Amino acid sequence: MPESQTNLSWDVLLDLSGPAGARHERLAGALRSAVRDGVLPVGTALPPSRKLATDLGCSRWLVTQAYGQLVAEGYLEARTGAATRVSWSPGRDERRPPAARVAAPVPRYDLAPGVPDLRAFPRRRWADALRDVLTTMPHTEFGVPPLGGHPRLRAVVAEYLRRCRGASAAPRDVTICAGVTEGVTRVCRALAARGVTAVAVEDPSWGRTRQAVAAAGLTVVPVPVDEDGVRVDLLGGTRAVVVTPAHQFPTGTVLAPARRAALVAWARDVDGLVLEDDYDAEFRYDRRPVGTVQGMAPAHVALFGSVSKTLSPALGIGWHVLPPAWTESYQAANPAAATPSVVDQLALAAFIDQGGYDRHLRAVRLRYRSRRDALVAALATHLPDSRTTGVAAGLHLLLHLGGAVDTGALVRRAAAEGLRLVDLAAYRSTPPEEPALVLGYGNLADNAVLPAVALLASLL
Amino acid sequence: MPESQTNLSWDVLLDLSGPAGARHERLAGALRSAVRDGVLPVGTALPPSRKLATDLGCSRWLVTQAYGQLVAEGYLEARTGAATRVSWSPGRDERRPPAARVAAPVPRYDLAPGVPDLRAFPRRRWADALRDVLTTMPHTEFGVPPLGGHPRLRAVVAEYLRRCRGASAAPRDVTICAGVTEGVTRVCRALAARGVTAVAVEDPSWGRTRQAVAAAGLTVVPVPVDEDGVRVDLLGGTRAVVVTPAHQFPTGTVLAPARRAALVAWARDVDGLVLEDDYDAEFRYDRRPVGTVQGMAPAHVALFGSVSKTLSPALGIGWHVLPPAWTESYQAANPAAATPSVVDQLALAAFIDQGGYDRHLRAVRLRYRSRRDALVAALATHLPDSRTTGVAAGLHLLLHLGGAVDTGALVRRAAAEGLRLVDLAAYRSTPPEEPALVLGYGNLADNAVLPAVALLASLL
């Protein structure tokens, strides 16, 4: 009876062997125990009575009787036109304390940085791309996925990075992975295998970057950032550094030309590795984005990118371009590293290759620019004593509040009012000289800009 | 001109500044350099002439002249109704040796184990599930995905494992990841952080399992398997073991009841951890699958599973259930661990919850059983001196060939004839007593069974 095997538990679970007579009692008892023991948790749909009767080799009457009894006892719940479901929660679940509620209340206005406009996700076009792939991909592509990513996406990403980011990338140097954090961790594992114990990270920086370095067992060494970007002259003693040259996070500065040259010279001097996080280079509003440092020194720079800021972090697709000399250490340190779904990889490859990605970027760039303009204008009106920097690019800006503001207290007061703010201090190893907030506007609804700023002003 | 920024490189790339006159010459020169330098690799589509003219602020005539010249010179290729594309490969690419061709020729008959029927992937239903999710999910779900997996899929998997695998799993104990290999590596990192240096692994075993343990920096200790499964009495000295109790890979034995009890007792004695790889438990043909060992001792067993053998390894979705006491070490050792696409996670949750997964399993189980029957019958006819074991479950069987066969030479001879075979010795730390092949039939087309066996027989 292979048809009954998937719900294999029904006839094993509901053991009706034993003396004949009152079989519906025994069925009810077995069901009751299963619910009591938590084997059938609240909400579980029971099979239609006709189906269960076939599986158990008994009459349908017997099943409806048993269901009826348990409905009367409060174990099950029957609704016309829907499956009969378990409605009782066993005491056993209470033996362990209930899980802590991790879900914080959703703020009315969320100004935390790092998230793109989630309303702008191209749902229909992404679904179309997925369906196209699922309709046309050869069945062999459903097999064990190629390590390092699907060759099609590697080629498309390599071309994209050459064309749009001035990178030097051959498909074989591109690895597809879950995102920048995952990629940095993997490259750091290769660094660790080569004897590197510490990695310099810009200060301030994105917390996940520091986490990614630490996850590989390496020590994070903070390196200051000034108005020209990372202080290359203070890198002495390390052989690897994570930087955000196109748009420093969170200060928004662009690595100055002389610093770029100095960074490359440093990497060559110490035979080191620059980890270039190209995290939101696609969004620059005043002029063309600067190209990657990787394009200047592909032998000493690992380039990281993803669709997290352009499409959605929920897709879990990113890439990195490694210097060929690092390939072997990388593979040895990450021997069975996972890749995103091949279906997703092929959908993204088609989306980029057929121009959908470029069109999406063009559309959201316009949105972000006008939202940034609205935010800057509202801040100038409602907080005339404040100052904004880092507004030329990206999905956030820095709001400098002047000497007297206790930003920690402000963030807490704001949270109580449903306004989520992030203190610049949260990204720094030491408190900033001047109190400042990092205001993300990527995912702020257009009609929320004014009330959010007004609320912020009322709290100062 | 934000419209021109996505193809930002076109006007930066094709620098037309300088003295006036013969601008189309300059445009052609810039294009030529870009192709020569590899900036525009073979196959790159150039923008339509009208679009490029707008971007560059020049006349369309100028662009068509430049395109035409480069077509004449062999750099570009124009086809009516399609984009003009780069058709020339620069010498620069040759500076590095071409990548080794890793793609082996596709065998006519592939009997390697570990792959399900790739023709059976439910393409349309999976595309429907993805579209449903993309149409209905709240936009907030496109944000940073929850660590450990989406709560919806964690709950559905927990229920599935309780219902179908006799597991003891609360949603909070379930982690969604890319698959069993990824999961085992992560748990091994937690073991390493707690001071474990060696992990016992069944001998023979799946190579990826050993790789997963080694990837966490741990030593693999082989432990023999006999007809009752893993030799628990030989586990002394280790505190962790990876096992396949439902269907040992590749011998196909089921861990005997006494051994199950002994394994649990061992884990309690040494305060150790059993890593239970439940890799193809869904496919048992003679009776109901045995439940998981995890259900007997949830405090000492980590349970691993995935859709790799039920749907496709290309989806990259798996899960594990950890003892609560291990949660903290796990999270500390894998602080920013990636999850599969939230869209895929929600699609799988709906697919399981709405019965599509059960229906799929029911359908393919019938397919596999009849294919197994055909394979066993063909082997009995064509290789009457051989013997098969491990046929009661899974997607492969063991073919014992008797004392005189050199399986290594057989595998090579077969490969030359387009028949892919895997020697049992490939999964063992020491050669087996009797030569045997591991024959996978999951992805063998029904009409290939007879010719594949006839070919195998002709080679013996």
The residue ranges of every structural domain in chain B are: 10-94, 109-113+360-459, 121-354
pLDDT at B134: 97
Q: Is domain B10-94 annotated with CATH 1.10.240.10?
A: no
Q: pLDDT at residue B103 above 70?
A: no
Residues of A in contact with B313 (CB under 8 A): 142-145
Give the range among A196-205, B83-92, B131-140 with minimum mean pLDDT. B83-92
Query: Mean pLDDT over all residues of chain A?
Result: 88
Closest partner residue to A143 among B2, B3, B115, by Cβ? B115
**Contact B316/A215, CB-based, under 8 Å?**
no
Across the range B427-450, mean pLDDT stands at: 93
Give the mean model confidence (pLDDT) for residues B144-152.
Answer: 95
Q: Which of A11, A119, A316 is opposite residue B338, by nearest beta carbon? A: A316
pLDDT at B96: 43
Q: Taking residues A402-426, report their average pLDDT.
A: 93
What are the phi and psi torsion angles at A288 (to 5°)? Answer: -65, 145
Looking at the DSSP bridge assignments, the partners of residue A45 are A85
Nearest to B314 among A212, A214, A343 (CB): A343
pLDDT exceeds cutoff 70 at B15: no
Q: Tell me the residue type at B456.
A: L
Q: Of A410-419, B73-82, B214-223, where does mean pLDDT reach its minimum?
A: B73-82
- Nearest C-alpha of chain B: how many angstroms from A397? 19
Could you tell me which chain A residue has the CA closest to the CA of B334?
A215
Predicted pLDDT of residue B67: 85
* pLDDT interval class at B74 (50, 70, 90): low
Average of pLDDT values for A70-79?
72
φ and ψ at A367, to 5 degrees?
-55, -50
Chain B CA closest to residue A126? B134
Shortest CB distance from A130 goes to which of B130, B338, B340? Answer: B130
Residue A9 has pLDDT above 60, yes or no: no
- Of A13-22, A400-409, B31-40, B346-355, least confident by mean pLDDT is A13-22
Looking at the complex, report in whole angstroms how far the Cα of residue A448 sits from the nearest Cα belonging to chain B: 16
How sure is the predictor about B14, in pLDDT bands with cuts at 50, 70 and 90? low
Q: What is the pLDDT of residue A321?
A: 98
In chain A, % of residues over pLDDT 70: 88
Closest residue of chain B to A167, computed from CA coordinates: B39
Quick check: B101 pLDDT over 50?
no
A352-407 pLDDT, tens digit per residue, is 999 999 999 999 999 999 999 999 999 999 999 999 999 988 999 999 998 789 99
Closest-CA residue to A189 (of B1, B322, B333, B281) = B333
Contact A243, A275 (CB under 8 A): yes
Q: A7 and B443 in contact by Cβ < 8 A?
A: no
Q: What are phi and psi of B77, to 5 degrees?
A: -135, 125
Question: Is residue A346 scored above 80 in pLDDT?
Answer: yes
The whole-angstrom distance between B126's CA and the closest CA on chain A is 8
Residue B298 clears pLDDT 70, i.e. is over it: yes
- For A335, name the nearest residue in chain B, comparing CA atoms only: B215
- Which chain B residues contact residue A39 at CB under 8 A? 162-163
CA nearest B251: which of B380, B403, B396? B396
- Whether residue A319 contacts residue A305, with contact meaning beta carbons closer than 8 Å, is answered with yes
Q: Is A145 close to B172, i.e. CB distance below 8 A? A: no
For residue B357, which phi and psi values (nearest 5 degrees)? -65, -45
Task: Determine the residue of chain A that is closest to B156 in CA distance.
Answer: A44
Q: Which helix (H) or strand (E) holds A275?
A: strand A273-277
Average pLDDT, chain B: 88
pLDDT score of A24: 65
| Locus of tokens 């076939």 | A54
Confidence of residue A83 (pLDDT cuts 50, 70, 90): confident
Q: Measure A335 CA to nearest chain B CA, in Å.
A: 6
**Is B314–A3 a contact, with Cβ atoms under 8 angstroms apart?**
no
Highest mean pLDDT among A61-65, A115-119, B85-89: A115-119
Chain A residue at shortest CA distance from B161: A39
Residue B162, min C-alpha distance to chain A (Å): 6
State the pLDDT confidence band at B54, using cuts at 50, 70 and 90: confident
pLDDT at B307 over 70: yes
* pLDDT surpassing 50 at residue A459: yes
Instruction: Choose from B10, B96, B163, B359 for mutation: most chain A CBs within 10 A.
Output: B163
Q: Are A215 and B335 within 8 A, CB to CB?
A: yes
Q: Is B419 left (phi over 0), alpha (psi -120 to 50) or beta?
A: beta
Distances (CA, A) of A147 to A151, A157, B237, B405: 10, 16, 34, 34
Q: Give the pLDDT confidence score for residue B86 in this predicted structure.
A: 86
Instruction: Using the predicted structure, report yes or no on whether residue B22 has a pLDDT greater than 80.
Output: no
Query: What average pLDDT score do residues B23-44 get?
Result: 74
A207-256, pLDDT tens digit by residue? Answer: 999 999 999 999 999 999 999 999 999 998 899 999 999 999 999 998 98
Query: What separation in angstroms does the CA of B19 have from each of B15, B22, B23, B26?
Result: 12, 9, 9, 10
Q: What is the mean pLDDT of residues A18-29?
A: 60
Which three-class secondary structure string do you get for chain B?
CHHHCCCCHHHHHCCCCCCCCCHHHHHHHHHHHHHHCCCCCCCCECCCHHHHHHHHCCCHHHHHHHHHHHHHHCCEECCCCCCCEECCCCHHHHHCCCCCCCCCCCCCEECCCCCCCHHHCCHHHHHHHHHHHHHHCCHHHHCCCCCCCCHHHHHHHHHHHHHHHCCCCCHHHEEEECCHHHHHHHHHHHHHHCCCCEEEEEECCCHHHHHHHHHCCCEEEEEEEECCEECHHHCCCCCEEEECCCCCCCCCCCCCHHHHHHHHHHHHHCCCEEEEECCCCCCECCCCCCCCCCCCCCCCEEEEEECCCCCCHHHCCEEEECCHHHHHHHHHHCCCCCCCCHHHHHHHHHHHHCCHHHHHHHHHHHHHHHHHHHHHHHHHHHCCCCEEECCCECCEEEEECCCCCCHHHHHHHHHHCCEECEEHHHHCCCCCCCCEEEEECCCCCHHHHHHHHHHHHHHC
Chain B, nearest residue to A128 by Cα: B131
Residue B108 reports pLDDT greater than 60: yes
Q: Percentage of chain A surpassing pLDDT 90?
A: 65
CATH of B121-354, one of 3.40.50.1820, 3.40.640.10, 3.40.50.300, 3.40.50.12780: 3.40.640.10
**How many cross-chain Cβ pairs, A to B, lie less than 8 Å apart?**
222
CB atoms A162 and B369 under 8 Å: no
A127 CB neighbours in chain B (<8 A) are 130-131, 134-135
pLDDT at A378: 97
Q: Please report, for residues A185, A368, B406, B453, the alpha-carbon distance to residue B413 in angstroms, rounded to integers and kept in the order given.
A: 43, 62, 11, 14
- Find out whether A196 and A220 touch, Cβ atoms under 8 Å: no
**CB within 8 Å: A164 and B314:** no
Q: Do B127 and A134 touch (CB under 8 A)?
A: yes
pLDDT at residue A25 is higher than 70: no
Written as six digits, the tokens of B108 are: 């006519």
What value of ipTM does the predicted structure carry? 0.81
pLDDT of B56 reads 79
Tokens of B110: 């592939």
CB contact under 8 A, A170 and B93: yes
The pLDDT value given to residue A307: 97
Task: Find, in chain B, the residue whose alpha carbon is nearest to that of A444.
Answer: B140
Number of Cα atoms under 13 Å in the Cβ half of residue A94: 5
pLDDT in tens, B3-12: 333 344 566 5
- Does A12 sit within 8 Å of B163, measured CB to CB? no
pLDDT at A144: 94
Contacts of A44 in chain B (CB under 8 A): 159, 163
| pLDDT average, residue stretch B273-288 | 88
Find chain A residues with C-beta within 8 A of B340's C-beta.
316, 340-341
Contact at CB, B99 and A131, closer than 8 angstroms: no
- Chain A residue nearest residue B47, CA to CA: A355
For B153-208, how does the pLDDT look when each residue is reduced to its tens digit (9 = 90+)?
999 999 999 888 889 999 999 999 999 999 999 999 999 999 999 999 999 999 99
Fold for the domain defined by A109-113+360-459: Aspartate Aminotransferase, domain 1 (3.90.1150)
Separation between Cα atoms, residue A198 and residue B214, nearest integer Å: 23
Structural tokens at position A131: 């369906």
pLDDT digits (tens, 9 = 90+) for B336-394: 889 999 999 999 999 999 999 999 999 999 999 999 999 999 999 999 999 999 998 89
Interface residue of A55, A304, A312 to substitute, partner B, most B CBs within 10 Å: A312
pLDDT at A21: 44
User: What are the Cα distances from residue B272, in Å, to B194, B266, B302?
Assistant: 11, 8, 11
* pLDDT over threshold 60, residue B52: yes
In whole angstroms, what is the distance from residue A343 CA to residue A317 CA? 12
Q: Over the stretch A254-301, which tens digit does the pLDDT of each residue have?
A: 898 889 989 999 999 999 999 999 988 888 888 777 789 998 899 999
What is the structure's pLDDT at A66? 79
Amino acid at the residue A75? Y
What's the whole-model pTM score?
A: 0.81
Task: Please answer whether residues A252 and A389 qualify as being in contact, where contact means their C-beta atoms are separated by less than 8 angstroms.
Answer: yes
